[in-house]
Amino acid sequence: MDLVTPDIGLIFWTTVSFAILYFILAKFAWKPILGAVNEREKSIKDALSAAEIAKEEMASLKADNEKILNEAKLQRESLLKEAREIRSRIIADAESEAIEKANKLIESAKTAIENEKSAAMKELNNTVVDLSLNIAEKLLSKELDNKEKQQENIQEILENTKLN
Amino acid sequence: MPSQFSRSTCFSFLILFFVNISIVFAGTEKNSDEFDVNEMIMHHIKDSHEFHIMDINGHAVSFPLPVVLWTDNGLVSFSSSAFKHDDSGSVIVSRKGQDFIKYHEKIFYTNNNGSEKFISYDQNGNIINKKPIDFSITKMVFSMFISMILLVLIFVTTAKSYSNSRKGEPTGLGKFTEPLIMFIKDEVALPMIGEKNYHKYMPFLLTLFFFIWINNVMGLIPFFPFSANLSGNIAFTFVLAAITFVITTLVANKDYWKHIFWMPGIPVPMKLFLAPIEFLGIFIKPISLMIRLFANISAGHIIILSLISLIFIFKSLWLAPASLFFSVFISLIEVLVVAIQAYIFTMLSALYIGSAIEEHEH
């Protein structure tokens, strides 16, 4: 029974030893160690949450960028569309203007031609009149020499006179 | 008669712990000239007033330790060397007008009936000599003091090592000890007690774990100033279990007592039936702690010593390699066992404390 009978002396010393050990270690070992460990854990936690926040910020920044980019794209798109419209409108305008101008030109050319034509006709008339008068005058001056001569004269005058 | 009595007790314990070995040396019990394995092992397992280092030419070389006695005439103290290595009660030490003898590592007053023998027995073979209260610094107390010094050195150094670190990371010794501390925190205190209260019990659990572990390990080292079977001593485990019991009882909340004496949620006859069982459980829990550690560590020592003793039992050197092989093998297992036992003791203590302060929701 010796083995399983607790000895009073050892009980006393174990109690005292454990109590002393507890107070020494609690004050000089566990408190600083656990304090350091907790502080480190806290700083790690803080760093992690800060990283999380940074990540979120990054994500929102990225989303913003995306949005801006999309907007820019849309704007470019609309600008291009507008430009294209303007271009086609300009072209159309230019075309119609050109046609109009051409028409005008043609019209004026037509009138000019008409004028020229009537002037030429007038001139031709005058020339013909002059010519006729000339012929008549010459005929009258060389009056009745002979018939043959007369014929010859007329032929000569006609040859000399260019109908222009 | 008395020696027979102690032998039969020891023998029954060996049957408890290690049946095969006890049978092997049962035959050697009768002959007192032969090497008595039983006596040797029991002597090692139990406490002693001097720290035996070795024998040279049959003379014991031992480290004398102070004997401190609370006697009828007050405190008496002297060196254990005054007994001149005697353990059979034949050397008398006189102090303050009182005579003391040491018999089987117990100190008695000598009897006053004037006979030649200093020890008297009753008819059942029990010693009737009076005993002073023995507060000696025995081998185990001495070993415990060494373990305390080691623990303080190790952990104060660890605590200091944090001041060398830049961001609170462990340096030096802390690299080794911090994982152990974190293990107690994360695997024992947090799951057993809960996040809300665990930090209050951390110092206790850490002290408990390392105190048990270092004494377990010191018991495995087979030379002076180690090898004392402190954590395999019932007094040591009794005190630690008692501390757990006291803490559990003191911090227990209303729910804990309610679950013991009037278990909610079951019919009244069952409540009446369970109450005594639960009440006994309060005491059985720490008692199981006490016996588990005591039996495991003592058994380890007994097995290793028994294996070594095989050489002397069979009186053959040829057995030595096998005997050594097995004892080294068991020693390696013991290295694991002592860590596990320290862990189990701490974990169960945490569990009992945790169940005492648990808040039930119903």
Inter-chain contact A9–B298, Cβ cutoff 8 Å? no
Structure tokens at B235: 């007094």
SS3 content of chain A, % helix, strand, coil (to 5): 90, 0, 10
Which chain B residue lies closest to A16 (C-alpha atoms)? Answer: B239
Residues 124-153 of B with CB under 8 A from A: 133-138, 140-141, 144-145, 148, 151-152
Higher pLDDT: B129 or B34? It is B129
Residue A49 domain-assigned (yes or no): yes
Please give the share of chain A, as a percent, with pLDDT higher than 70: 95
Each residue of B68-109: pLDDT tens digit? 999 888 888 888 888 888 888 788 888 887 888 888 888 888
Please give the share of chain B, as a percent, with pLDDT higher than 70: 88
User: Of B92-101, B198-207, B244-253, which range is least confident?
Assistant: B92-101
Residue A112 domain-assigned (yes or no): yes
Average pLDDT over residues B275-281: 92
Which one of B151, B182, B202 has the shortest CB-CB distance to A21?
A: B151
Going from the C-alpha of A19 to that of each of B66, B197, B203, B289, B300, the distances in angstroms are: 22, 21, 12, 19, 28
Which one of B45, B155, B243 has the shortest CB-CB distance to A29?
A: B155
ipTM attached to this prediction:
0.85
B229 neighbourhood in chain A, CB within 8 Å: none
Residue B29: pLDDT over 50: no
- Within 8 A by CB and 6+ apart from B207, the residues are A18, A21, A22, A25, A26, A30
A11 neighbourhood in chain B, CB within 8 Å: 235, 238-239
Inter-chain contact B144–A24, Cβ cutoff 8 Å? no
User: Of B16-25, B84-93, B153-162, B282-291, which range is least confident?
Assistant: B16-25
Tokens 């016996």 sit on residue: B291
Contact by Cβ (8 Å): A14, B142: no
Report the pLDDT value the prediction gives residue B17, as an integer from 0 to 100: 42
Number of domains into which chain A is organized: 1
- Within 8 A by CB and 6+ apart from A32, the residues are B159, B162
Report the pLDDT value the prediction gives residue B333, as an integer from 0 to 100: 94
Total beta-carbon pairs less than 8 A apart between chain A and chain B: 126
Contact by Cβ (8 Å): B129, B111: yes
Residue B246 near chain A (CB below 8 Å)? no
Average pLDDT over residues B311-321: 86
Report the pLDDT value the prediction gives residue A143, as an integer from 0 to 100: 64
pLDDT band at B33 (very low <50, low <70, confident <90, very high): low
pLDDT band at A128 (very low <50, low <70, confident <90, very high): confident
Residue B335: pLDDT over 50: yes
Residue A3 domain-assigned (yes or no): no
pLDDT band at A31 (very low <50, low <70, confident <90, very high): very high
Q: For testing the chain B interface, which of A4, A5, A10 should be mutated: the one with the most B CBs within 10 Å?
A: A10
Residue A142 domain-assigned (yes or no): yes
Helix (H, G, I), strand (E, B) or coil at B354: helix
Backbone phi and psi for residue B116, each to the nearest 5 degrees, phi listed first: -70, -40
pLDDT band at B112 (very low <50, low <70, confident <90, very high): low
Q: For testing the chain B interface, which of A18, A20, A43, A44 should be mutated: the one with the most B CBs within 10 Å?
A: A18
Chain B: give the shortest CA distance to residue A43, in Å. Answer: 9
User: Of B29-33, B198-202, B263-267, which range is least confident?
Assistant: B29-33
pLDDT band at A1 (very low <50, low <70, confident <90, very high): low
Average pLDDT over residues B265-279: 89
Q: Give residue A61's domain range.
A: 9-160
Report the pLDDT value the prediction gives residue B3, as an integer from 0 to 100: 46
Residue A1 domain-assigned (yes or no): no
Inter-chain contact B211–A11, Cβ cutoff 8 Å? no
Nearest to B99 by CA among B121, B83, B84, B86: B83
The amino acid present at B169, given as its one-letter code, is E
Residue A13 domain-assigned (yes or no): yes
Report the pLDDT value the prediction gives residue B13, as an integer from 0 to 100: 43
Going from the C-alpha of B179 to that of each of B134, B241, B319, the distances in angstroms are: 40, 25, 42
Average pLDDT over residues B31-50: 80
pLDDT band at B150 (very low <50, low <70, confident <90, very high): very high
Residues 49-68 of B with CB under 8 A from A: 68
Report the pLDDT value the prediction gives residue B143, as an integer from 0 to 100: 93
User: DSSP string of B78-138?
Assistant: EEGGGGTT--BS---EEETTEEEEEETTEEEEPPSS--SSS--B-TTS-B-----EE----
Domains of chain B, residue spans: 1-46, 63-137, 140-357
Residues 250-309 of B with CB under 8 A from A: 294, 298
Residue B155: pLDDT over 90: yes
Average pLDDT over residues B301-329: 89
Which chain A residue lies closest to B68 (C-alpha atoms)? Answer: A9
Report the pLDDT value the prediction gives residue A28, as an integer from 0 to 100: 92
Residue A4 domain-assigned (yes or no): no
Residue A2 domain-assigned (yes or no): no
Average pLDDT over residues A76-82: 94
Report the pLDDT value the prediction gives residue B113, as an integer from 0 to 100: 62
